[in-house]
Amino acid sequence: MAEGTIKRLTDKGFGFIDVGSDKDLFFHSSSLEGVSYDQLREGQRVTFTEARGPKGPCAENVEVG
């Protein structure tokens, strides 16, 4: 699994993960594992699986830690 930091959260149930490159990865609240969207905070470390969504790269199976 890859690691990153939550860079930005929206009030619409999605956010972006900073993975240390030029592009951030999109994630939707439906891709969270073991945590609810309202428990997430910007700057929090997460692990995830990188996948290909309809609009490009995204994160799935996002877990805190």
pLDDT tens figures, 7-64: 999 999 999 999 988 889 999 999 999 999 999 999 999 999 999 999 999 999 999 9
Q: Determine the structural domain holding residue 7 and report its residue range.
A: 2-64
63 alpha carbon, distance to own chain's centre: 8
Residue 65 pLDDT > 90, yes or no? Answer: no
**Measured torsion, CA atoms of residues 26, 28, 4, 47, in degrees rounded to the nearest 10:** -140
Q: How far apart are CA 30 and CA 35, in angstroms?
A: 10
Number of domains in the chain: 1
pTM value?
0.91
Here the CATH number for the domain that contains residue 51 is 2.40.50.140
